[in-house]
Amino acid sequence: MKDVLLRKANAADMKIIESCVERFRLDNENLKFEQFIVAERNGSITGFGRIKPYRHCFEMGCVAVLEAYRKRSIGGAIVKRLIKDFPSGGIWITTDIPEYFQRFGFQSTTDAPQEILDKIKRVCQGRQHPNAIIMLLRRK
């Protein structure tokens, strides 16, 4: 992990981000480079994550590591950086791999902002993630 740089995404990064979002069937709504951070190794993107703004809340999303770079703690580094940079105390995610996010302190909940409830129906179930749940991390 020491040779991986975490940085804010730029417009040139969007081609690979958009391609991976489609391939991994992630949330493809309103993708903007300003929302993303990327993990980079030797000039190549190895992973990324996003803070997606809504009208009344924010959501952590699109956390992904390219297949060749998995099992190297890159995903965890991305999640930790997004938590650090998050603009609010409550960090919402929708996921079908809750066990991964539990280790960072996220807990399953059904008491979510309407925008997140709508998103899980609109995006997650529509992108072949019928078992996606909502999780929340409350920062102290």
pTM: 0.92
> pLDDT grade, residue 122 (50/70/90)?
confident
Q: Is 128 helix (H, G, I), strand (E, B) or coil?
A: coil
CA distance 15 to 52: 18
Q: Give the per-residue pLDDT at 128.
A: 67
Q: Give the per-residue pLDDT at 32.
A: 97
CATH of domain 5-138: 3.40.630.30
> pLDDT grade, residue 103 (50/70/90)?
very high
